[in-house]
Amino acid sequence: MGRYLILGASGGIGEATARRLAKAGHDLVLAGRDQAGLAALADEIGGATGIADVLSADLGGQLAEMAGSRLDGLLYAVGTITLKPFERLKDDDFLSDFKINALGAAKAVQALLPALKAADGGASVVMFSTVAVDQGFAAHASIAMAKGAVVGLVRSLAAEYAPSIRVNAIAPSLTQTPLGQKVAGNERMAEAVAKLHPIPRLGEADDMAAMAELLLTGGTWITGQVIAIDGGRSTLRVARN
């Protein structure tokens, strides 16, 4: 069994992935800012916990201490959804989205490189992009820029650390998670967005967790990829009666 660190483990996709990995018998390190949430999850499924804030100047030290000498994988399940008309975006919006989504991921991987390199048979890193990077949606400029940086990071790291560390990203469409509730929490908006998908529903956290589990624990010939889990929204246009 492997040993995996999940950053952003106390809600949504991070938690769903943690549950899958725990059920399969893997050893987990659950990290994030929500100490109470992490403790409750660890009590239920097992695993060590640690507080890690991706905006902290000491993120590297926090994660390195938790990781120990070996990790088989990292799931960076921390993100934002900033949806504003372009003319209303401020510098702080762009900088916050970049720091949380892209820079935090880069710092996390840097801190955990020694432990990831020590994994027997290679390690895996999984990050998150969004369908909005390739599709282009109104009011998504800040988050699409930040997630576009994640895509560049994924491909650069995959090239630099092949074959010892595989690096991939999942690109969801709107998913029913605590983070997604700012859109999905509006019933009329959620129904309208759901109908835009060839499979006409919103994503569930476990849809993403299933792919995250595969990329972390299997998929040993997959690296440098951004995999859309989006009900077909990024590639299909379906006529409806």
Tokens at 32, concatenated = 């994030």
pTM for the predicted model, two decimal places: 0.96
Q: Does any domain span residue 116?
A: yes
Whole-angstrom distance, CA of residue 159 vs CA of residue 148: 17
Q: Does any domain span residue 154?
A: yes
Q: Does any domain span residue 183?
A: no
Q: Does any domain span residue 20?
A: yes
Question: Domain containing 19 — which CATH number?
Answer: 3.40.50.720
Domain housing 28: 3-175+204-229
Q: What is the pLDDT of residue 49?
A: 97
pLDDT in tens, the chain (241 residues): 999 999 999 989 999 999 999 999 999 999 999 999 999 999 999 999 999 999 999 999 999 999 999 999 999 999 999 999 999 999 999 999 999 999 999 999 999 999 999 999 899 999 999 999 999 999 999 999 999 999 999 999 999 999 999 999 999 999 999 888 877 778 888 999 999 999 999 999 999 999 999 999 999 999 999 999 999 999 999 877 6
Question: Could you give the angle at the alpha carbon of 31 between the alpha carbons of 145 and 37, nearest 5°?
Answer: 105
Q: What is the pLDDT of residue 179?
A: 85
Whole-angstrom distance, CA of residue 5 vs CA of residue 112: 9
| Total of domains in the chain | 1
Whole-angstrom distance, CA of residue 106 vs CA of residue 220: 22
Q: Does any domain span residue 184?
A: no
